[in-house]
Amino acid sequence: MSFLYPSFLFGLFAVAIPIAIHLFNFRRTRKVYFTNVAFLKEVKTSTNSFRRLKQWLILATRILFITFLVLAFAQPFIQSPKQQSLSSQGNTGIYLDNSLSMQNETGKRQYLQLATDEADELLGALPKTPSIQLLTNDFESRDQYLATPDKLKDRLTEINFSPTSRTLESIYKRQNNLLSRNSPSTQNQFIWFSDFQKSTVGDLNKLKIDTNSRIFLVPVQTEETANLYVDSVWLATPFVKEMETNTLNVRLVNTGKDAVKNLPVKLFLDEKQVSSSSVNLDANNSVVAAFDFLVKERGLKKGRISFEDFPVTFDNDFYFVLNASPTINIVHMFGGATGNYIQNLFSNETIFQARSLNAQNVDPTLLNTADLAILDGVTDLSGSLPTSLEAFVKKGGSLIIFPGPANNSTIYGSLLSRLGVPSPQNTTSPDKTFEAIDAPDTRNPFFESIFENTTQKERMAMPAANPVWQWTGRGSSLLRLKTGTPFLSRFDVQRGKVYLCASPLTDNFSTFQKHALFVPILYKIAALSKSQERLSFSFQEPSIAVEINEAGKEPVFHLKRDNLELIPSQRISGKQLLFDIPENSQTGSKQLAEAGYYELTLNGKVQKILAFNYDKKESQPDSYSPTELKQIFGRYKNVQIFSALNEGEFVNEFKSESQGKNFWKYCLIAALFFLLAEILIIRFVKG
């Protein structure tokens, strides 16, 4: 048997008090005279024996009362065979997982509320000394100090959900460092309340635990875990057009074991509902829902996908931003006698801002703001134009090269070789024989949304061309001649693209420019040249990249939402701004905490609107069960895993498993019993 507070055993010396009273009780006796002396002797003998028995009983009850009262304060217990007892000398670290996944429910109570109530009851069972640390996912500065249970109970009422999730490794390191710093020579114990979500706790097999510490894992779980969330959203077309029907695709995920039927899902733009759909989701499956919508004007639109799902509600809204009809800047550089096909093509759409210039007079700085550059029959690349084109492509721009009729492939050799694109060879046919162009492969993602169905493609009469160039090597052939040689190919160059066409855009060499394919293919190339803006971002991303216009010298961008304004660490690469979400230097958590829309401003003017959502890992409720935790931590004798937390059961189980069988209540009952026995003996036993 052991004692939780052995210092109280010194109180057993108080047993000497009733013994001393019994031994040195010199109470004076009163003499009574009787006539029959023989009878008095018999009565006196009988009375003295009974009185001594009564006094010994009173002494015994007093000794036992004091003994059991002292033992009640010392709190005796029998050591548990499973674990060592909870140390009364070391520090105790309590971790309360307040991540968003703790919104789940068991018994109609949220995980966080249940864990908070049990932690409150646990604090009442721990020593009333400032040796306890309470830690949450927020990693607040006050977590660094030890406190008494009463102060921590007040703090429990302030704990709310946090968008930050932590691995158990980071929790253990922080707790261990803080407790070891306060008392490096004592043995510490850690108690963790968590749902032990598999997607966020990290690789538990790599968690290294000091054998001098004791850890108690308390799973807060239920057998059935289910949640619905939006995995991703994307547009069916490269960009949104005003006054035209656009389609937004939404992938929804069901993590539960039961199918969900007829789930109403709504699409909002600028807080106005513009579309809705009824979705059916199979168990443990996902589905893609399509939403058709119409925007009436250009500009940035705040989008939101919304549905109702309980009890986990933090991911019922998914935020994104659409840029309706973004301007695509095109620089068309021509040389020699060319047709007006390019000029006429891009003048029909307001989203295109095209400038047609003679290649000999073009200002290379125009490429700094361009998305697409077109070389149309250019016969000479001189000055700084080749260098500017190279930098333009490597920074993310798209370049289309249409040859001239003079077989001038050599002037592009140096530029293309620096870009890693195979140089074309001259292959002019003297008799100008036209070769048919083969039908495109509609399985190529490039042609998505160009053809409505394959039947129309099969009936289409294809154009013909007299190629002046041919090339080999890597690249994606968008169109081929019937002979198998490429007619239009795409080459990826770092962040940009280069397109090569085998024939000039003149009637003597091709009918491609007059064919129905010409417009959608060139439009698709132009659309893909625009850097595809992300619709949404996650707080957990290490860095964010957004496209910007000319920002001037040494610009400083701000992130702003309501009264919150931050300056992230940032740098500009080409037309992209790269920045990191600011973190708290003490806790390492992101300073952007609430999902929604944030403004990217420069000199007080809004440049972009960015949408941020919570990490999808928090939406995946699958957790490690107590059985799985026991298998993982079975190699540690100082780690104890309790069964899943049920209301009112944990503290008793914790005391039984960690402290052993406690007898202080029985000792207190025994002390009261002997006190009552003494009173009854004195009151009712005559003698």
What does the DSSP 8-state code read for residue 423?
P
Q: What is the pLDDT at residue 32?
A: 58
One-letter identity of residue 31: K
Are 376 and 354 in contact by the 8 Å Cβ rule? The answer is no
φ, ψ of residue 605 in degrees (nearest 5): -105, 140
Give residue 399's identity as a one-letter amino acid code: L
Residue 595 has a pLDDT of 93
* Strand boundaries in 595-686, DSSP class E: 596-602, 605-613, 639-641, 661-662
Say if residues 253 and 286 touch (Cβ distance below 8 Å): yes
Residue 497 and residue 478: Cα distance in Å, rounded?
Answer: 13
Tell me what pLDDT residue 459 has. Answer: 63
CA distance 415 to 531: 23
Q: With a cut of 70, which residues of the chain have pLDDT below it?
A: 25-47, 79-89, 183-186, 337-338, 407, 428-432, 452-459, 550, 574, 584-590, 645-649, 653-660, 687
Looking at residue 26, its pLDDT comes to 47
Angle at 448 between CA 446 and CA 449, to 5 degrees: 130
Residue 618 CA: distances (Å) to CA of 79, 614, 622, 643: 40, 8, 10, 23
| Torsion angles phi and psi, residue 133, rounded to 5 | -120, 135
Q: Which residues pair with 437 in a beta bridge?
A: 481
Alpha carbons 379 and 358: distance in angstroms, whole number: 11
DSSP state of 295: B
pLDDT digits (tens, 9 = 90+) for 280-318: 999 999 999 999 999 999 899 999 999 999 999 999 999
Q: How is residue 314 written in tokens?
A: 């933090």
Dump pLDDT digits (tens) for 644-656.
Answer: 766 556 777 666 6
